[in-house]
Structure 1
Amino acid sequence: MGTRTEDVRLAYKTWKQVQEYLNYDQTVIIPVGANEQHGPSCPVVTDTLLAEHLALEVGRRQGVLVGPTLPIGDSLIHLGFPGTIAFRPSTLMSVIKDYVTSLHKAGFRRFFVVNGHGDNKPPLQSAFSELGEELSEIRYFVHDFWDFPNFREILNDEFGDPNGGHADACDASLLMAIDPSLVNESLLTSEFPKVRYWISRDLVDDLYTKSGVIGSDQRLASKEVGKKLLEEAIQCYSQLLMELMEVKEPALS
């Protein structure tokens, strides 16, 4: 593993420094976020900030390089809200494939994707499925932070919901823990969709959300819960990363 106290951002290294790193480790962490509405209380950069914060903290603790954050994801359903910028799933697949192929050419073989937006996961997994056929010797994880069992348990205990929603109390709490100034607490709200099935974007306002919050009571958010959630996500990601790096550790609970 690398030196834990150094800057782990790949983009701030020289090519010589990256080459030296590859002499002892071929692992890279890739944060993937989104630029989409998060209700009236949280910024459109929420998913990107969360993915990047988690990736950098895991990278620092484990001494693993962190690649540049992909700040745009599959946010097509949110395009009715000003400020949202979206990739089509096919575009996101092409972008991550070019990203990973470039790093693979340099010598990276283990790719650890910290995903901050749920709709990104299918195209990311599909892209890696293709990369697994096209590239040699690669190992990878694509994981959403809210899918760790212990993380879900905290959500259930604190908010009465193990799954959360969009622009939910989980997101707001995490942002509060990172930087309270990012959340306008006076505008936290609650809204739940009228239907459970997927819909086209023209029906979002009528059936899913007018505020941008989907399936959550944001007003339950707190900085204290956010700190607990952050630490749980960082620990779980760290354990998963060590598995990818073939360090023998106990299985995740």
Structure 2
Amino acid sequence: MQLNQASWPEVEAYLKKSKGIIIPIGSVEQHGPNGLLGTDAICPEVIAKEAGDEAGFLVGPTFSVGSAQHHLGFTGSITLRPTTMIAALNDWIDSLHRHGFKRIFFLNGHGGNITTIDAAFVESYAAWSLDGEACPYKLKQTSWWMFDEVAQVCKELFPEGDGSHATASEVAVTYYAYPEAVKDVVMTPKTAPEGRFTDAADYRKKFPDGRIGSDPSQATPEKGKRIVEVAKKALIREVEAYFAS
């Protein structure tokens, strides 16, 4: 069930059965020469949708722009300052709590979001602590690639060149979601170098085509479908346990 496609009476009826909701959260940033700018939002969105459709969970709108300042050297990338993102996340959390949600599960698609999401959670809990009240809801985040079985299938599909940014696995998931967007691009070197970075200028200098450690030319819709099937099952298991806690 998609919040964006439900009426308010339908959401009210859902809350009589469950107090839990999944929020896909990602980023709009470059993903190399053949990766979509929306990759980090598309991946959790498609996985959450398929899990919600199968298991009956409510899936909220995607929080699609995240913390991606280091990608601003590449055209089309958009970022929020960490303080802005924390404030926006707390507005989302407060809105959902007002309606009666007590288990809010953020399915993340961007590694650069993790620390900011955690900070937003601390900010949310702190308001209750400072008021001397027990917080009536719980917040959780998991990145889709962190499920053990997902990591295993990605390693099986891409034993070499999955990398750490513009990965073959995430590009494959987006190609499964949008097969019309598949791009055939020759990349040099075939597998990008690994390394660390600071700001946008440093990133662009060290990784001129945007990739880090990856060869996303290996990505296909068929491989993406397999990853989504595994991730969907893992997410259902994780969310069922969390909503029941």
TM-score where L is the length of structure 1: 0.87
Residue type at the aligned position of 2:138: R
Alpha-carbon distance in structure 2 between the residues aligned to 1:206 and 1:86: 19
- The 3-state SS of whatever aligns with 1:186 is coil
Which ranges of structure 1 fall in alignment gaps of 5 or more residues? 1-7, 248-253
Aligned to 2:127: 134
For these two proteins, the number of residue pairs brought into alignment is 238
Contact 2:33 2:185 in 1 (8 A): no
Aligned-pair CA distance for 1:230: 0.9
Contact 1:41 1:188 in 2 (8 A): no
Counterpart pick for 1:244 among 219, 242, 245: 242
Aligned-pair CA distance for 1:223: 2.7
CA deviation vs aligned residue, 1:74-110 (integer Å, no higher than 9, x gap): 1110001110110112211111111011110110001
Answer yes or no: is 1:224 the counterpart of 2:217.
no
Answer yes or no: is 1:26 the counterpart of 2:15.
no
Q: How does 1:193-208 map to 2 (within 5 A)?
A: 193=193, 196-207=195-206
Aligned to 2:29: 36
- Superposed CA RMSD: 2.0
Aligned to 2:81: 88
CA deviation vs aligned residue, 1:202-224 (integer Å, no higher than 9, x gap): 211222x1111111011222333
- The 3-state SS of whatever aligns with 1:72 is coil
Q: What is the percentage of aligned positions where both structures have the same residue? A: 31
Answer yes or no: is 1:165 the counterpart of 2:168.
no
Residue type at the aligned position of 1:114: L
Aligned-pair CA distance for 1:225: 2.1
Which structure exhibits the higher relative contact order, with contacts defined as CA atoms closer than 8 Å and separated by 6 or more residues?
2
- The 3-state SS of whatever aligns with 1:140 is strand
Residue type at the aligned position of 1:241: V
TM-score where L is the length of structure 2: 0.89
Alpha-carbon distance in structure 2 between the residues aligned to 1:220 and 1:192: 13
Which structure 1 residue ranges, 4+ long, deviate > 6 Å from structure 2? none
Counterpart pick for 2:65 among 66, 72, 82: 72
Alpha-carbon distance in structure 1 between the residues aligned to 2:74 and 2:209: 9
- Which segment drifts farther, 169-178 or 75-84? 169-178
Cα 1:197/1:43, change in 2 over 3 Å: closer
Aligned-pair CA distance for 1:188: 5.6
Aligned to 1:251: none
